[in-house]
Amino acid sequence: MRTLIRGGTVVNSGGGFAADVLVDGETIAAVAAPGLFTEADRVIDAAGKYVLPGGIDAHTHMEMPFGGTSSSDTFGTGTTAAAWGGTTTIIDFAVQAKGTSLLATMDKWHEKAGGHCAVDYSFHMIVSDVNDTTLKEMESCVAAGVNSFKMFMAYPGVFYATDGEILRAMQKARETGSMIMMHAENGIAIDQLVAQALADGRTDPVHHGLTRPPELEGEATHRAIKLAAVTGAPLYIVHLSSRHALEAVTAARDTGQNVFAETCPQYLFLSIEDMAREGFEGAKFVCSPPLRPADHQLDLWRGLRTNDLSVVSTDHCPFCFKDQKVLGLGDFSKIPNGMPGVEHRMDLLHQGVVRGEISLSRWVEISSTTPARMFGLYPRKGVIAPGSDADIVVYDPAATQVLSAATHHMNVDYSAYEGMELVGKVDAVLSRGALVIADGAFHGHEGHGKFLERDLCQYLR
């Protein structure tokens, strides 16, 4: 089928321009002067709207086991919600349990996701058991198109890796050209603060944030950067939440070190005050790293403008309030860590454009183009150009909406942004040429999404 998107403003990371986009099958056939093409099997009127490359959410956790339960979105429900919000590719995390192999873990996640995703997907690997076998299997993962490996300086006894283990994994990443991703919080110190708070009877959700201070995120980020410098490995800091961590990243990048970082919408729009809401409501906002005081948001927006923060992902990891978050009632340390967000990332970031925090092209860059380059998908993804996959979002910048659990499509019983009024809304979405969102309805299906084998990070070539 040939689809013509006419009359819109195409916005790539290099800027916006008036053009029509012709799609032939699963790819973009042409980006042409308005009116050059007049015939197609399907015509989408994009007058007054933006035509964007589909969003790439490089950090999601579908069906993730955590704290005796699992995140509530399946690969089917989560990728359907992503499509509603203009995200046409996710990169999820396959979680290695201690005592298991990376390759068996990757097979397990293929079984979970295969035939169920509504949009395209790929994997990162979580490395929780560093040994000779795991290090050798990293080579096989890279050969299979999975070339990014997440490690944790937090969660002792679960995912935590020692500095020595991190060093060994970084050496293997340097050897293979792959990327180490780091959850940078000082988990050993945090566990002491948590134990002290609980012993003192401080059990409310807000103490999740108070026992994970930004100084311990900054310290761990600095330490991860120095380990990367010693090994020569590239480093990607995930879900950066504080100015303390951003300062460490900025200093490293100013020396030319290959250090990259992402932040998430919750750190740009929510704060620790949300965790302090009356009763147990604050549990809805428990994630790690935690929400920070609101003044950190100014630094994060500045980091997005200077490119010291290169990507905005969601860390989408939803747990229902009534059945799952309540596991931590009376003990904040037992609240499942994670928040929903895969559906709203593009819309929330558009508020940064509306408010003058970022430019229109920067919006596209941090939500699509840079993730594509960072994780070896460009130019197949992340750009409106001939030959690229026809992952296209028609976006109405003048439409308004109010976020609510009553209307979202994520499989979770609350919205972290309940009642927030936004300017801008997805009008239509194509995933590899298939119209999956149009006229306020979902037209896609589970199983449409394909697994993407990725090349190495394109900023390191």
For 141-195, the pLDDT digits (tens) are 999 999 999 999 999 999 999 999 999 999 999 999 999 999 999 999 999 999 9
d(CA 387, CA 365): 19
Same fold, 2-52+387-442 and 54-374: no
Question: Six-digit token pair at 306?
Answer: 């200077």
- Give me the residue spans of the domains in the chain: 2-52+387-442, 54-374
Looking at residue 461, what is its pLDDT? 63
Does CATH number 2.30.40.10 belong to domain 2-52+387-442?
yes
Taking 70 as the pLDDT cut, the residues of the chain under it are 461
The residue ranges of DSSP E strands in 240-350, in sequence order, are 259-263, 311-312
Asked if residue 455 lies in contact with residue 426, where contact means CB atoms within 8 angstroms, the answer is no
Looking at residue 68, what is its pLDDT? 85
Q: What CATH code is assigned to 54-374?
A: 3.20.20.140
Residue 406 CB contacts under 8 Å (≥ 6 apart), including other chains = none
Looking at residue 66, what is its pLDDT? 85
- Nearest Cα to Cα of residue 68 among 323, 444, 384, 449: 323
- Nearest Cα to Cα of residue 113 among 459, 455, 451, 359: 451
d(CA 413, CA 408): 10
